[in-house]
């Protein structure tokens, strides 16, 4: 236990250059407090003291702004940096040396039972505001860009960005995504073309009616 607690503190110094002393880190780092509270809540959860586990979890949420379900599994050296708004679901599995920034959601996609939250393998990083939803796996050594929404598995050694998230770098090589911008649909232009065609049709009908009217007049 003491080894785990020391690792939780040491990872703060490794990841955050603003950390100055053990005293400061232990007393003022909400991410560290949330991790420690979760370790207590998770112990109660495994012992089937579900109410106590949820109580510890909610008290921690009140003081830290970080919500971690007591059923979630978190490995060693997990670092939550500026963690306000982080949400980690019940069946989430987080490996070792994982970094999460503020506003990250590791959530589900519905009311399904069983494994319904993401798995983050070792050495992954999830940037500010990213949402990883469903029973998917973020591969080892991968990164999820800020604001991304990831709904599918991510291979190892990858960088994912966008909504929905897509792999842009894998194994250090940029992944090509062919996109012909000149072929992109333009609904406004299409609507104008449709209106122009309708006006031509109306003009043709008017000319036809005038011709008929002139013949009838003769």
* Whether 87 contacts 105, CB under 8 Å: yes
Strands (E), the chain: 67-68, 73-74, 79-81, 87-88, 93-94, 99-101, 105-107, 119-120, 125-126, 131-133, 137-138, 143-144, 149-150, 158-161, 166-170, 173-174
2-174 CATH: 2.160.10.10
How far apart CA 121 and CA 147 sit, in angstroms, is 20
- How do the domains of the chain map onto residue ranges? 2-174, 181-217
Q: How far is CA 92 from the centre of its chain?
A: 13
Please give the chain's pLDDT, 218 residues, in tens: 777 788 888 888 888 888 888 888 888 888 899 999 999 999 999 999 999 999 999 999 999 999 999 999 998 888 898 888 899 998 999 999 999 999 999 988 877 778 889 999 999 999 999 999 988 899 899 999 888 898 888 889 988 988 888 888 877 777 766 544 445 556 777 788 889 999 999 999 898 888 887 777 66
DSSP state of 21: -
Which pTM does this prediction carry?
Answer: 0.72
Q: Which two tokens stand for residue 8?
A: 């939780």
Note if 82 is an active site residue.
yes
* CA distances from residue 131 to 63, 141, 149 in whole angstroms, order as listed: 23, 18, 5
Predicted local confidence at residue 177, as pLDDT: 62
Predicted local confidence at residue 22, as pLDDT: 85
Of 173, 177, 145, nearest to 157 by C-alpha is: 173
Predicted local confidence at residue 181, as pLDDT: 46
* Cα radius of gyration rounded to whole Å, the chain: 28
Active-site hit among 33, 42, 69, 82:
82
Residue count of the chain: 218
Number of neighbouring beta carbons within 10 Å of residue 130: 24
Give the phi and the psi of residue 5 in degrees, each rounded to 5: -60, -40
Question: CA end-to-end span of the chain, whole Å?
Answer: 107
């Amino acid at each position: 236990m003491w080894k785990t607690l020391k690792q939780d503190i040491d990872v703060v110094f490794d990841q955050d250059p603003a950390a100055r002393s053990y005293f400061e880190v232990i007393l003022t780092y909400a991410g560290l407090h949330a991790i420690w509270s979760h370790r207590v809540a998770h112990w109660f959860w495994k012992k089937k003291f579900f109410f106590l586990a949820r109580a510890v979890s909610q008290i921690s949420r009140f003081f830290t702004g970080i919500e971690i379900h007591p059923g979630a599994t978190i490995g060693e050296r997990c670092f939550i940096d500026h963690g306000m708004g982080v949400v980690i679901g019940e069946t989430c599995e987080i490996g070792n040396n994982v970094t999460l920034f503020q506003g990250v959601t590791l959530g589900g996609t519905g009311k399904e039972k069983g494994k319904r939250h993401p798995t983050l393998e070792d050495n992954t990083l999830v940037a500010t505001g990213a949402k990883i939803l469903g029973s998917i796996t973020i591969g080892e050594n991968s990164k999820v860009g800020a604001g991304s929404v990831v709904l599918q598995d991510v291979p190892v050694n990858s960088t994912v960005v966008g909504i929905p998230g897509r792999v842009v770098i894998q194994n250090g090589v940029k992944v090509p995504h062919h996109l012909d911008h000149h072929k992109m649909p333009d609904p406004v232009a299409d609507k104008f073309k449709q209106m122009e065609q309708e006006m031509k049709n109306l003009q043709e009908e008017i000319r036809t009616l005038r011709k008929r009217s002139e013949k009838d007049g003769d």
